[in-house]
């Protein structure tokens, strides 16, 4: 074949390929995106509505258009509980389990689905037992200590104090109030709650998102840990650390990496109880100071229900005040002798108290 024929044949084949490709492009049509499926919405209740734990809740769904779903699957707190084709159903809630209740509905039609959800609140069905207190003994307390955490261990108090530039971890003689060991935190940290577990002391800071782990005997810093909320109160059930952040939520954290294992929402018979501050774990219950009040509440650690409320008004008498006192804060428990100690920020006294049921 001559060179001219080869060139002509090559040009012909290239033109054919270009033409075919062009035809293929012209014959290709894009499939329009499917319109989002709109089947149902929640008619009632609406997000934020409040009910009582144990109450039956009537759920009414409504069609968005005239299309009837093939089926509807309902979930409560991400657990499937009902498959139906009805638009009205009854949701049974559990007694003793207050908190947020997420209700999700997934409607199906011809293999396609659409979801809708609402968030409800369940206040506690339990009326908290009311308590008052009796002072058993009074001890001296450093009036310059802005108490954020309090522990009793092996005959001594351990205290975490706050305020920028004045935050400390300290070991204190109960009888005298004398500080026998102390560690100053860097000025950038506002110290918060403390807890002791496995010969280590854990200390939170308020807004830095950093906590410290110390050797309980020497106060040597072993390492730090992080968290995404504010740090307020801290205690332990012997296995986990239990943390508050000033909201109505209590977090359970594993002690090694301080990762969250689970959480509870604290509710009484009126709704969520916020401003949870210093914590202490006593005989299977969580005791919590409520910030800016004279109340201590008793919390079920499984459900978050408030089982008791202790009125601590007038604990610090007028003749025991120096004029700089802040709020009640600090609960410590001596399990060997079944003693409970309480104090406050900048208080000059610490009290051994007994809680007494009101009639």
Domain boundary among 123, 146, 170: 123
Confidence grade of residue 319 (pLDDT, cut at 50, 70, 90): confident
How many separate domains does the chain show? 2
> What are the φ/ψ torsions at residue 11 (nearest 5 degrees)?
-65, -35
> Is residue 344 situated within a structural domain?
yes
> Is residue 12 situated within a structural domain?
no
pLDDT at 25 exceeding the cut of 80: no
Residues 6 or more apart from 37 whose CB is under 8 A from it?
Answer: 109, 112, 113, 114
pLDDT at 64: 94
pLDDT at 174: 98
> Is residue 59 situated within a structural domain?
yes
Q: 133 and 59, same structural domain?
A: no
Q: How far is CA 160 from CA 172, 209, 214, 330, 339, in A?
A: 11, 16, 12, 10, 20
Residue 331's domain is classified under what CATH number?
A: 2.130.10.10
What are the structure tokens assigned to 6, written together?
A: 């080869």
Q: How far is CA 351 from CA 49, 216, 243, 311, in A?
A: 42, 24, 24, 15
Residue 93's domain is classified under what CATH number?
A: 2.60.40.10
Q: 137 and 117, same structural domain?
A: no
> Is residue 272 situated within a structural domain?
yes
Confidence grade of residue 18 (pLDDT, cut at 50, 70, 90): very low
Q: 324 and 214, same structural domain?
A: yes
Q: pLDDT (tens digit, 9 = 90+) per residue, 335-345? A: 999 999 999 99
Domain boundary among 67, 101, 123: 123
Q: 260 and 177, same structural domain?
A: yes
Q: 211 and 174, same structural domain?
A: yes
Q: pLDDT (tens digit, 9 = 90+) per residue, 182-238? A: 999 999 999 999 999 999 999 999 999 999 999 999 999 999 999 999 999 999 999
pLDDT at 170 exceeding the cut of 90: yes
Q: Cα(45)–Cα(248) distance, rounded to whole angstroms?
A: 23
pLDDT at 34: 65
Geometric angle at alpha carbon 82, from 53 and 74, rounded to 5°: 80
> What are the φ/ψ torsions at residue 320 (nearest 5 degrees)?
-100, 0
pLDDT at 14 exceeding the cut of 50: no
Helix, strand, coil percentages for the chain (3-state, nearest 5): 10, 50, 40
pLDDT at 3: 42
Q: 237 and 340, same structural domain?
A: yes
How many residues appear in the chain? 359
Q: 206 and 70, same structural domain?
A: no
Q: Which residues pair with 59 in a beta bridge?
A: 89
Q: 157 and 300, same structural domain?
A: yes
> Is residue 10 situated within a structural domain?
no
Contact at 8 Å (CB) between 341 and 332?
A: yes
What average pLDDT does this structure show over 140-157?
97
Q: Cα(61)–Cα(40) distance, rounded to whole angstroms?
A: 6
Q: pLDDT (tens digit, 9 = 90+) per residue, 234-255? A: 999 999 999 999 999 999 999 9
> Is residue 64 situated within a structural domain?
yes
Q: Give the closest residue to 58 by CA, choosing from 85, 83, 84, 88.
A: 88
Q: What percent of the chain has pLDDT over 90?
A: 86
pLDDT at 32: 52
Q: pLDDT (tens digit, 9 = 90+) per residue, 95-108? A: 999 999 999 999 99
> Cα(first)–Cα(last) distance of the chain, in Å?
117
Asked if residue 45 has a cis previous peptide bond (ω within 30° of 0), the answer is: yes
Q: 68 and 170, same structural domain?
A: no
Name the 3-class secondary structure at 339.
strand
> Is residue 8 situated within a structural domain?
no
Q: pLDDT (tens digit, 9 = 90+) per residue, 100-139? A: 999 999 999 999 999 999 999 999 999 999 999 999 999 9
pLDDT at 37: 87
pLDDT at 193: 98
pLDDT at 150: 98
Q: 188 and 162, same structural domain?
A: yes
Q: 137 and 94, same structural domain?
A: no
Q: 133 and 262, same structural domain?
A: yes
What average pLDDT does this structure show over 3-25?
43
pLDDT at 334 exceeding the cut of 70: yes
pLDDT at 173: 98
Q: pLDDT (tens digit, 9 = 90+) per residue, 29-77? A: 444 556 788 999 999 999 999 999 999 999 999 999 989 999 999 999 9
pLDDT at 15: 43
Q: Which residues pair with 130 in a beta bridge?
A: 309
Confidence grade of residue 8 (pLDDT, cut at 50, 70, 90): very low
Domain boundary among 66, 91, 123: 123
Give the structural domain span for 339. 129-357
């Amino acid at each position: 074949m001559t060179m001219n024929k080869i060139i002509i044949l090559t040009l012909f084949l290239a033109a054919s390929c270009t033409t075919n490709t062009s035809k293929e492009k012209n014959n290709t049509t894009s499939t329009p995106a499917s319109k989002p499926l709109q089947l149902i919405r929640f008619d009632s209740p609406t997000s934020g509505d409040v009910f009582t734990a144990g109450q039956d809740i009537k759920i009414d769904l409504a069609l968005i258009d005239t299309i009837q779903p093939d089926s509807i699957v309902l979930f409560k707190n991400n657990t499937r509980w009902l498959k139906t084709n009805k638009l009205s159903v009854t949701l049974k809630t559990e007694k003793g389990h207050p908190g947020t209740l997420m209700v999700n509905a997934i409607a199906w039609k011809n293999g396609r689905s659409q979801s809708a959800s609402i968030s409800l609140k369940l206040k506690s069905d339990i009326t908290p037992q009311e308590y008052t207190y009796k002072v058993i003994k009074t001890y001296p307390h450093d009036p310059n200590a802005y108490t954020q955490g309090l522990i009793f261990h092996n005959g001594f108090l351990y205290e975490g104090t706050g305020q920028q530039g004045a935050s400390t971890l300290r070991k204190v003689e109960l009888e005298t109030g004398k500080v026998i060991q102390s560690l100053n935190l860097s000025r950038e940290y506002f110290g918060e709650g403390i807890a002791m577990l496995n010969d280590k002391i854990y200390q939170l800071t308020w807004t830095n998102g950093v906590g410290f782990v110390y050797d309980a005997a020497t106060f040597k810093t072993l390492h730090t840990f992080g968290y995404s909320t504010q740090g307020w109160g801290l205690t332990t059930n012997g296995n986990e650390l239990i943390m508050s952040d000033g909201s109505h939520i209590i977090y359970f954290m594993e002690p090694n990496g301080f990762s969250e294992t689970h959480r509870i929402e604290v509710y009484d018979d009126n709704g969520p109880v916020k401003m949870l501050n210093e914590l202490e774990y006593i005989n299977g219950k969580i005791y919590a100071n409520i910030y800016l009040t004279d109340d201590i509440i008793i919390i079920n650690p499984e459900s978050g229900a408030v089982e008791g409320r202790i009125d601590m008004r007038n604990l610090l008498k007028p003749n025991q005040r120096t004029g700089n006192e802040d709020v009640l804060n600090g609960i410590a428990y001596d399990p060997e002798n079944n003693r409970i100690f309480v104090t406050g920020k900048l208080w000059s006294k610490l009290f051994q108290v007994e809680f007494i049921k009101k009639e």
